[in-house]
Structure 1
């Protein structure tokens, strides 16, 4: 073994300390649950590493050399300190977790950008996000708290709580609005309308709510999720109709504008519900949701 290393083989050092304490390889073997030969080999490895003899070996008797006495006196407290540190770390309570079930677009556009605030407030609680388009009552993975729009599709045992009001509005890229102005609803006919597969009725519901005649756009583009629709809008592909809850920072930071801000369609509120038996972590997360919605 190389003596240039900064530390000796720690297992060999541990075996040496037990043998030195007992002044016996045999008793050390019993304590460590190994053979007498294994103890002897580990001590020999340590002696080779250090380049000195640690024991004087006699028939049925061993005694520490001066070097062995020095190593035992100085290493034994150090190794015990390491053991104490390990036990202290293992005794700490594990990080707690809260499993959150949310739809992908809500997770991407509303929840994830806000999660750093929750982590900063509750550093010992780990938020674990599960995204799903299934209703909470059909969820295939366990969760502590779910977030969905409306009161349908919840398991009967859940108590659901509204926390976020919502409505549909029009958004588009500033560059697209500059190229093709939108002054009223009929002027949307000159644009590509961006639609979401999971919200296919939004355009018709919005139009009917406002009493508008049927829209005949230049073209329609459909995407699987609303966060993809909004990215397409940011990239100037067309005009999107989106829940305000999913706008994120795109309007505030100038990536999107709302050309007709008064033409809005109220939507069902967004609710959260805690699973029966969910721990305090879920309750803290629910309270945090309320503060975020209020902000």
Structure 2
């Protein structure tokens, strides 16, 4: 689990740096990083043309950057001897410093990237989807994803990605999609009535009006589901009388499997129960404007592009196999 800590400093931070502020040169007197990189590459290769190819810039750009350093220092860094570039004494001094500095930056950067790759990937989704769909399928993740460390969390706030420290969320959303995140639609939201086979004693249900004669179960997380479905079925039964109401869909479906009544549920949550005959769907499911989506934190695609691509392809495949 990632925990963000905030340090409260008493007094000015880094006092030794503050004491030197009055002796620091203006920023414009220091060389640019691009100019130092051009000089360093030229010094290592002994050629401005080679440096230009390495840095993917023009020969003129490298020449201007080196000339800028020489003008700021007021001394030459290279001499052309018999058609070849040679470092001056001052050039050799600067080349030694840039070689060490860029080497340290490279080591630091690689170390940070390596540490990031060993951090667990935090995946969030609602508790019912986590329990009834995701966890039973995690064993089928491809090797690239199975080798990763995962931190799987339940979240009822579908878009609380930033505050909860979630890298990627598997959630139901309605358009328009949230700004600032990569949203990949996977499957239309479809929900319909399900119940235990024992509830109907094997008797076929032919209409919504007939279904309304059975005990109805509802959940506080999707209070409008029954009304939307009944409207699509042109059912005349009103108002809707629920036998029992549950706080979460997970409890609702447990009650339905126990034979307590008919539940209105998304197809992804009941696919396994229907396949194993713990539940039956007496009437058709309704497709809504919502979508089951992967919501990817904007920084994740850059940090773990291969893993993100593998996760998207796995999710698409797994959902395709699940869809009713």
The answer, yes or no, to whether TM exceeds 0.5 is yes
Deviates further, 126-135 or 237-246: 126-135
1:273 to 295, 309, 313: 295
Are 1:98 and 1:127, in contact at CA under 8 Å, matched by a contact in 2? Answer: yes
Assess, with a 3 A threshold, how the Cα gap between structure 1 residues 184 and 151 changes in structure 2: closer, same or farther. Answer: closer
Alpha carbons of 1:218 and 1:204: their partners in 2 closer, same or farther (altered >3 Å)?
A: closer
Q: Is the 8 A contact 1:206 1:265 kept in 2?
A: yes
Question: Any conservation in 2 of the 1:192–1:217 contact (CA below 8 Å)?
Answer: no
Q: Determine if the alignment matches structure 1 residue 166 to structure 2 residue 189.
A: yes
Q: Is the partner of 1:212 in helix, strand or coil?
A: coil
For 1:93 and 1:182, the matched residues in 2 are separated by 55
Match of 2:299, SS?
coil
Whole-Å Cα distance in 2 between the matches of residues 231 and 102 of structure 1? Answer: 19
The number of residue pairs the alignment matches comes to: 203
2:165 equivalent to 1:142: yes
What is the alpha-carbon distance in structure 2 between the residues aligned to residue 189 and residue 170 of structure 1?
11
SS at match of 2:245: strand
1:108 paired with 2:131, answer: yes
2:275 to 235, 246, 252: 252
Distance 1:123 1:139 in 2: 24
The question of whether the paired residues in 1 share the 8 Å contact of 2:191 and 2:265 is answered with: yes
What runs of 5+ residues in structure 1 fail to find an aligned partner?
Answer: 1-90
Q: Is the 8 A contact 1:168 1:243 kept in 2?
A: yes
TM-score with structure 2 length normalisation? 0.56
Distance 1:137 1:219, change over 3 A: closer
CA contact (8 A) 1:97 1:127 kept: yes
Deviations 1:17-36 (A, max 9, x none): xxxxxxxxxxxxxxxxxxxx
Shift of 1:201: 0.5
Q: For residue 270 of structure 1, report the CA deviation from its aligned partner.
A: 0.9
Secondary structure of the residue aligned to 1:149 is strand
The 1:151/1:159 distance shift into structure 2, 3 A limit, reads: farther
Matches within 5 A, 1:171-210: 171-178=194-201, 182-210=205-233
Larger radius of gyration: 1
Aligned to 1:45: none
SS at match of 1:249: helix
TM-score by length of 1: 0.62
Q: Structure 1 residues 192, 143: closer, same or farther in 2, change over 3 A? A: same
Cα RMSD after superposing both structures: 2.7
- 1:106–1:246 CA contact under 8 A, matched in 2: yes
What is the CA-CA distance between 1:159 and the residue it aligns to?
A: 1.7
Partner Cα distance (1:172, 1:195) in 2 = 12
1:122 corresponds, among 142, 145, 154, to: 145
Q: Does 1:287 align with 2:313?
A: yes
In structure 2, do the counterparts of structure 1 residues 96 and 294 end up closer, same or farther at CA, with 3 Å as the change threshold?
Answer: farther
Contact 1:96 1:124 (8 Å CA) reproduced = no
Q: Secondary structure at the match of 1:242?
A: strand
